[in-house]
């Protein structure tokens, strides 16, 4: 370690220089991935693109992948997964469709403020064109299922030779997310676009592809949308013995009941214990005989971090609540149960 860095650590002990940097400019700290909202761009009446400038340590993504976003709404930190709709760039974008009653989606579309700091986790997922070795591709999407596909389309170089058909379903032409851009790509010959407007054309299902895209069996197909549509496609591809040529991305919605304390489950060991809202999960787990990793036991060293598989926890220092999501990590030494929760230990 350079001499200057060692000297800085001595001066700032027990904190590290990065801890002070985190306070001055959170985007410069590599301790946790964060970003700042720089724009919210309307797409349709109930959808918007959120532009985020990531901070230090943000890795490049492959078009089609998703990121996990932590956003504070009314004092509760919620984690949600959103497809990345931008090509590889300094900023990343997610495009969110407001769901009636959806606390996070409604907040991002209607109330997210420029300059808001958000928490990020690294891009993930294998719903990418790397899974399609051939040039002929079919995208079948509905509603916000177009979002990972738009990331792929934007990530293709103009010189890329691809035979691409996009079949997209929405209630009407005005409700097609990215409608103008998709139609421009079709006019330029980059894709063949088939729009199905359910209010006038009826519901999109697998059987209609025989007419809309007669050569669908020869294409690698990427599908994203409502569960009913995806289930129908999987049945058709299985019946045709073509499951290896179908790639599906499913969105999941999380519901969490909040409270003061609850049943804490440590799923790796099978231990379950009643936890109050004032005792750390580290102490709760130890009292149940769970071997809990720990270090400083005061929220500084991150030696006690564990995945939160389900439920919610409250930060004993700030009162902030974090809800579960794929890959969400919490510090057990400074977190207490905020309702039933499941810690992967």
pLDDT in tens, 212-221: 999 999 999 9
Q: Tell me: pLDDT of 190 over 50.
A: yes
CA distance linking residue 93 with residue 43, whole number of Å: 12
Residue recorded with tokens 């304390």: 261
How confident is the model at residue 317, as a pLDDT? 85
SS3 279: coil
Q: How far is CA 192 from the centre of its chain?
A: 28
262-343 topology per CATH: Ubiquitin-like (UB roll) (3.10.20)
Task: Summarize the confidence of residues 186-201 as an average pLDDT.
Answer: 97
How confident is the model at residue 1, as a pLDDT? 46
Query: Band of the pLDDT at 323, cuts 50, 70, 90?
Result: confident
Query: Band of the pLDDT at 320, cuts 50, 70, 90?
Result: confident
How confident is the model at residue 256, as a pLDDT? 66
How confident is the model at residue 99, as a pLDDT? 87
CATH 3.10.20.30, the chain: domain bounds = 262-343
Task: Summarize the confidence of residues 98-122 as an average pLDDT.
Answer: 93
CA distance linking residue 210 with residue 186, whole number of Å: 21
Is the entire prediction scored with pTM above 0.85? no
CATH 2.40.30.10, the chain: domain bounds = 32-124
Classify domain 32-124 at the CATH class level: mainly beta
pLDDT in tens, 155-172: 998 877 789 999 999 999
Sheet strands side by side (includes 136-142): 192-197, 163-170, 136-142, 220-224, 246-249
Task: Summarize the confidence of residues 13-36 as an average pLDDT.
Answer: 62
129-249 topology per CATH: Rossmann fold (3.40.50)
Among the listed ranges 15-19, 169-173, 328-332, which one has the minimum average pLDDT value? 15-19
How confident is the model at residue 20, as a pLDDT? 46
How confident is the model at residue 254, as a pLDDT? 56
């Amino acid at each position: 370690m350079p001499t200057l860095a060692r000297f800085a650590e001595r001066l700032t002990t027990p904190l590290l220089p990065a801890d002070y940097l985190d306070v001055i400019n959170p985007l410069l700290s590599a301790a946790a991935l964060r970003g700042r909202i720089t724009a919210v761009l309307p797409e349709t009446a109930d959808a918007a693109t959120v532009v985020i400038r990531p901070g230090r340590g943000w890795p490049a993504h492959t078009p089609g992948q998703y990121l996990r976003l932590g956003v504070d709404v009314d004092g509760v930190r919620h984690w949600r997964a959103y497809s990345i709709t931008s090509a590889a760039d300094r900023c990343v974008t997610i495009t969110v469709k407001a769901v009636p009653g959806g606390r996070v989606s409604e907040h991002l579309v209607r109330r997210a403020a420029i300059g808001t700091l958000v928490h990020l986790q690294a891009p993930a997922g294998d719903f990418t064109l790397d899974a399609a070795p051939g040039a002929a591709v079919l995208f079948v999407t509905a509603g916000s299922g177009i979002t990972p596909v738009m990331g792929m389309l934007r990530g293709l170089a103009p010189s890329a030779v691809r035979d691409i058909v996009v079949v997209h379903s929405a209630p009407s032409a005005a409700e097609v997310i990215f409608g103008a851009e998709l139609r421009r790509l079709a006019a330029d010959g980059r894709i063949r676009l088939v729009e199905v407007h359910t209010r006038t054309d009826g519901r999109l299902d697998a059987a209609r592809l025989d007419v809309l895209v007669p050569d669908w069996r020869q294409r690698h197909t990427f599908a994203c949308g409502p569960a009913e549509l995806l289930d129908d496609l999987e049945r058709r591809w299985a019946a045709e013995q073509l499951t290896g040529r179908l790639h599906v991305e499913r969105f999941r919605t999380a519901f969490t009941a909040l409270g003061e304390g609850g049943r804490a489950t440590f799923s790796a060991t099978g231990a379950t214990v009643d936890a109050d809202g004032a005792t750390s999960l580290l102490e709760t787990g130890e009292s149940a005989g769970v071997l809990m990793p720990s270090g400083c036991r005061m929220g500084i060293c991150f030696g006690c971090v564990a995945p939160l598989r389900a439920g919610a926890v409250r930060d004993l220092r700030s009162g902030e609540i974090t809800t579960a999501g794929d890959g969400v990590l919490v510090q057990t030494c400074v977190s207490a149960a905020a309702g039933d929760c499941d810690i992967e230990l």
